[in-house]
């Protein structure tokens, strides 16, 4: 089996282009990683907002139920008269 070696007639620009390609790929992976981290942060913020909205909705449901009971009670009083 022969050892692999590099011939002198391979241009240096080939190596420069390979290095540039490697840096481009690393940069692209870095951008994707940053994007994923930002999306995870945004999802956490949305989850927090959603939980607050759910709590507010539950409070409004209780308030509306109380108002409904009060209206029913007032109507029963008025019907007696």
pLDDT in tens, 11-44: 888 889 999 999 999 999 999 999 999 999 999 9
Q: What does the pLDDT read at residue 14?
A: 86
Give the domain range for residue 66. 50-81
Question: Is residue 18 one of the residues assigned to a domain?
Answer: no
Place 47 in a pLDDT band, splitting at 50, 70 and 90: very high
Question: Is residue 27 one of the residues assigned to a domain?
Answer: no
* CA distances, 55 to each of 43, 46, 47, 61, 62 (Å): 18, 14, 12, 10, 11
Q: What does the pLDDT read at residue 13?
A: 87
| pTM (global) more than 0.85 | no
* Closest residue by Cα to residue 46 from 54, 34, 57: 54
What percent of the chain has pLDDT above 90? 77
Question: Is residue 68 one of the residues assigned to a domain?
Answer: yes
SS3 content of the chain, % helix, strand, coil (to 5): 85, 0, 15
Domain count within the chain: 1
Question: Is residue 75 one of the residues assigned to a domain?
Answer: yes
């Amino acid at each position: 089996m022969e050892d692999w070696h590099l011939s002198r007639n391979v241009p240096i620009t080939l190596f420069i282009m390979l290095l540039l390609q490697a840096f481009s790929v690393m940069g692209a992976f870095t951008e994707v990683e940053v994007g994923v981290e930002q999306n995870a942060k945004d999802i956490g913020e949305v989850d927090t907002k959603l939980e607050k909205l759910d709590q507010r909705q539950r409070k409004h449901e209780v308030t509306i139920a109380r108002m409904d009971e009060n209206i029913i009670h007032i109507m029963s009083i008025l019907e007696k008269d």
